[in-house]
């Protein structure tokens, strides 16, 4: 049974399910689709601007400075060392 209801109500859905059940259908509903309440936001990305951003991030040097000079303390877990 293949049905399309543009604006279904609960009563229509219930009656179609019972009709299919009484007719001997094995699956109650295989696909039940609704139009989403909101649509997704459509946007585009400027490839040139993206490439410039990536290149500027590659050219920057990220210096990570630690407050301690002991290499063993960097490997310790603070939660386990209590």
- Residue 56, judged by CB atoms within 10 A of its CB (0-12, 13-18, 19+), counts as exposed
pTM to 2 decimals? 0.37
pLDDT attached to residue 81: 60
Q: Name the residue with higher pLDDT: 73 or 9.
A: 9
The domain spans of the chain are 2-57
pLDDT attached to residue 64: 52
Encode pLDDT of 11-30 as tens digits: 998 898 888 889 888 777 77
pLDDT attached to residue 41: 79
Q: Name the residue with higher pLDDT: 80 or 10.
A: 10
Q: Name the residue with higher pLDDT: 2 or 19.
A: 19
């Amino acid at each position: 049974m293949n049905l399309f209801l543009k604006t279904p109500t609960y009563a229509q859905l219930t009656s179609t399910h019972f009709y299919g059940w009484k007719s001997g259908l094995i699956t109650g509903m295989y696909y039940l689709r609704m139009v989403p309440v909101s649509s997704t936001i459509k946007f585009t990305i400027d490839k040139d601007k993206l490439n410039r951003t990536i290149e500027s991030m590659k050219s920057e040097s990220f210096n990570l400075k630690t407050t301690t000079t002991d290499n063993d303390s960097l490997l310790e877990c603070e939660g386990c060392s209590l």
